A and B are shown apart, each in its own frame.
Chain A
């Protein structure tokens, strides 16, 4: 198992020290306090409109809590599955440079089982109590009811098949279970092969991981789009856009790349990954830069085509956002954080090689793409009762710190570097 002339301690493990745990716990507690304060404020001071209206559409404070749960559910599910996706891409494309950092994206996958429980749990709760998703209301599918909606009735089978429309959406929930089931299955497969390679060596594992990666990529190509339709697009039940699946994927992908880069830089700053130098960091920075531009491309293409054709059924989506006092500022925030900032700051070579720029930009991108999902979820569920306040900040901090805890805790359990990866030597000499 000699690695040529270059010697690093390949058995190094990340020490999930009490200090790091304490920092994460502090964020968690601060987040919980803010969230609690947000909930209390919403409960006692929040009922500022719909005065007197006690019908089915009265706004309750907990709807905002549910919307926040869903934003973070979907967002962090995305970052977790993108970790596995990035890992699989590296194998499928026979990438050499990334070999020493592969365990970081892989460890994101440890969030997937928790994400599955959260998504399926909250999903079932919404479906049973007819919350959150407009299409869960049975009266929409009853032609004799005044609330009957012909368009939603037309697409009802997508949620309810084979059961009656307006009953239990078994098709929707089955897709969710299948997607998470296979994502976790592929993650476990890739993970166990990678760890077995540490123990046994040889190039056989690398080849098997290539095959499994290709299979995962095929499954992910379909499931990522369909999950975007299910979990996000169906919120604005009337609205449709063929680009939407790839739009959500692009948002997830940039957020995932920024998270990978941030963790690598964090580890590097703490003395880990000695073989990772500015060339590898540069490549990660290029990925963040390139896919920020890609996200913008997708965002702009979808926006321009809908704006230009100006078909009411489609343009209502942007009208709801651009002409809203609550949401229109966040369109700007979204574009500034996710396009102008990475585009201008990461343009130069040096900015991608010096970690300070990457730390700032990646952090802001992770926040920026949270805003992207905020803009996808809240207008369709909360309307003008939404907004960015204590509840949003608190929930994001709680969720983010729990995800960070799970990921880092599992990262610490195995070697930080896949020590028998056949491309390691290539990666040591990576120079750009």
Chain B
């Protein structure tokens, strides 16, 4: 017997029945795409095409198209990589960690968040591959394959290689997790469809029969995958942080990086989930499933992770002073008051100060404020990576080689390309896949909908 305390907010409003859930969510898959969707999709494909010009130029001419120089050998490429990987953390956190913590509110948002995760990881993976210069070779050079090139092996000591393993594992598990969750919903759509659509969704649903035994297996698999995915949520950004922290560069070598990067990743991931879900719920009229309560809880996650990140910033700054290491102290002074002061203070304002506004209930339950702040957080997290990467590199140990970094049109264009890719994939998902996990939401209609708790 499941009991829900009367102090809990309902997770589903509007007195929805099981049939309503199927209807409200399948509807968008079954109807013809509307004008809004078509326009949004075209804009995304346009961005993809426009960005592709920059990508093609980079691949044709080489990495020299980017603004990198001798001192700043990493800039927008790895900033964008870390930014996208970070965003790709929320989905698996919501579906795995929140599953283990039995947070039922995750059910309305996990599907779209996981989809977003997968697309964000794809966008992230683009950058190291492009940076290889010749991705058609690099794609297998990065793997520890026995080869005929003599004794040339990948560098097992390098965290960049660990990244290859960590991210590909994370991607595979997230993809399987997401797809397994989709199977019962594909079956629901199959059962309502006719003709070619029935065949396609039938194939996608792997012959799901909805028997008790099938459900029992489904739940076991979900739990096992959640158990596997939870350490992966931590490991990916931990290893991304190792890319920097294993070095001896002031501002990069700091032991707090692993958990601090993970917190930052969850922070940015939730911000992106909010950005996307606020639009989706409005366009698809899903306000009864993704309620203000859901948005409020996500905002609380933003306050917590934003504050953790804030504590990490202050810790780094304090320890730089406390350490007595002159180079370390200079790195942080340079971040704050050097030529990139504007990037540092943008980061501080967007990531640490602005999320504190969510302490006010009025703000964290306001759709407009949440949407705006989610964009602010996304911007802030981009600046965080830019600050860590570029400001630590541009003034190295040798003052004669101090430079500034200026992005070229190709830097901007490749970043733009990944936006196009991300939104193209997301809009395809939103049209052809059920954006909310119908099967899971149905499991809480009885215990957590408005009728029961109020």
Binding site for B on A (CB under 8 A): 4, 94, 96, 150-151, 154-155, 158, 203, 206-207, 218, 221-222, 225, 229, 238, 240-246, 286, 293, 297-298, 301-302, 304-306, 308-309, 311, 313, 422-423, 425-426, 428-429, 432
Contact = CB atoms under 8 A, between A and B. Distances in A.
Nearest to A234: B322
A222 B311 contact: yes
Contact of B311 (A221, A238, A241): A221
B323 interface: yes
B322 A429 contact: no
Interface stretch (B25-33, B169-177, B252-260): B252-260
Nearest to B257: A305
Given A301-B255, A309-B253, A426-B3, A242 B319 contact: yes
B323 A311 contact: no
**What band does the interface of chain B fall in when counting residues whose beta carbon is under 8 Å from A?**
35 or more
B315 A422 contact: no
A246 B255 CA distance: 10
B272 to A, nearest CB: 23
B5 A309 contact: no
B6 interface: yes
A422 B255 contact: no
Contacts of A429: 1-3
A74 to B, nearest CB: 19
Given A206-B7, A425-B5, A429-B2, A242 B234 contact: no
A74 B63 CA distance: 54
A426 B5 contact: yes
B323 A313 contact: yes
B401 interface: no
Nearest to A308: B246
B246 A309 contact: yes
A242 B5 contact: no
Given A246-B256, A305-B245, 12 more contacts: A96-B5, A206-B7, A229-B322, A238-B324, A242-B254, A246-B259, A286-B100, A301-B255, A301-B257, A301-B258, A309-B246, A311-B253
Contacts of B255: 241-244, 301-302, 305-306
A151 B323 CA distance: 8
Max count, chain A CB within 10 A of own CB: residue among B3, B238, B247:
B3
B322 A243 contact: no
A56 B4 CA distance: 66
Interface string B103-146: 00000000000000000000000000000000000000000000
Given A242-B316, A423-B7, A301 B259 contact: yes
24 contacts: A94-B7, A94-B8, A154-B324, A158-B322, A203-B7, A206-B7, A221-B308, A229-B322, A238-B324, A241-B255, A241-B319, A242-B254, A242-B316, A243-B255, A243-B259, A286-B100, A297-B258, A301-B238, A301-B258, A305-B258, A309-B247, A309-B248, A313-B325, A429-B2
B292 to A, nearest CB: 16
B307 interface: yes
A304 B241 CA distance: 12
Contacts of B324: 150-151, 154-155, 238
A423 B246 contact: no
A206 B8 CA distance: 12
A44 B200 CA distance: 86
Nearest to A221: B311
B169 to A, nearest CB: 16
Contact of B319 (A154, A207, A240): A240
